[in-house]
Amino acid sequence: MTKAPVLILGARSDIGRAIAHRFAASGHPIQLAARGTESLAADKTDLELRYRVAVTLHDFDALAVETHAGFIDALPVLPGTVVCVVGLMGEQIDNEQDVTAAITVMRSNYEGPASILSIFANRFLARGHGTIVGVSSVAGERGRAKNYVYGSAKAGFTAFLSGLRNRLAKTGVHVVTVLPGFVATQMTAGMDLPAKLTAEPSEVAEAIEKAVLKRKDVIYVRPIWRLVMLVIRNIPERIFKRLNL
């Protein structure tokens, strides 16, 4: 039986590439979407040769929201699953001092992903089935001084995915929220991350594939994050604001 294509938005990222390999290994045709897809030509060839699946490349700009409907219309086939890994952390100090930088982070982590997934939700609903996967962040569960601009955008995206899932609960369209915690990627290179809390991109990809198959709602890639965030969410504000988190 032919498997439905999996579209990856943000396919140039380390996590995006790992997701492509995971689903291609399971026999899914892959649609890779990112800005400047010429840089993904080697990935396309590798996936095709390694897994014997069809791979297509699609230019996608998350911030050009006016192009999103046309982007979907131009796909060779509507995917069975769309995974959004689009995101931008930026530097907190820059976000504090430069409102343009802050807005770019906010739009990259919330507005752009919410825009494209809203359209996919309506297309999937019209078709009668489909899976939407949004990769958000534990940073959105409570604002912290060290990354509150990024965290606020992820909080919005997490709430969006929750509401979308609730809206589509009685349909054939399912929505998965992924909260990876720390991941060893280019974006976190140079950070001193605790090994027990830090996943590899391949772990994220594996968790996503399992969540899609089992129709999970919200997943933490490493279960320990569920406990960590439970503690952080419940620290009284008068104490929390004194902490260097």
Q: Which residues contact 93 (CB under 8 A, 6 or more apart)?
A: none
Q: Residue 228 and residue 219: Cα distance in Å, rounded?
A: 14
Mean pLDDT of the chain: 94
Q: Quote the pLDDT of residue 149.
A: 95
Q: What class is the 6-240 domain?
A: alpha beta
Show Cβ contacts of residue 64 under 8 Å, excluding neighbours closer than 6 positions.
none
Predicted confidence at residue 79, as pLDDT, reads 98
pLDDT digits (tens, 9 = 90+) for 101-153: 999 999 999 999 999 999 999 999 999 999 999 999 999 999 998 899 999 99
Mean pLDDT (whole number) for 202-225? 96
CB atoms within 10 A of CB 206: 16
Give pLDDT tens digits for 23-47. Answer: 999 999 999 999 999 999 999 999 9
Model confidence band, residue 192 (pLDDT cutoffs 50, 70, 90): low
Using pLDDT thresholds of 50, 70 and 90, give the confidence band for residue 213: very high
Angle between helices 148-167 and 99-106 (to 10 degrees): 30
Catalytic residue among 51, 110, 148, 150: 150
Residue 199, token pair as written in the block: 């996943």
Query: What pLDDT is recorded for position 118?
Result: 98
Query: Are 136 and 158 a contacting pair, CB within 8 Å?
Result: yes
In this prediction, residue 55 carries a pLDDT of 98
Return d(Cα 239, Cα 232) in angstroms, integer. Answer: 11
Pick 194 or 80 by higher pLDDT: 80
Give the start-to-end residue ranges of the domains of the chain: 6-240
For residue 75, what pLDDT is reported? Answer: 97
Question: Cα 202 from chain centroid?
Answer: 14
Confidence of residue 90 (pLDDT cuts 50, 70, 90): confident
pTM of the model: 0.94
Mean pLDDT value of segment 88-112 = 93
Task: For residue 202, give the H/E element and its range.
Answer: helix 201-214
Is the torsion defined by CA of 59, 77, 128, 15 positive or negative? negative
d(CA 193, CA 154): 20
150 is catalytic: yes
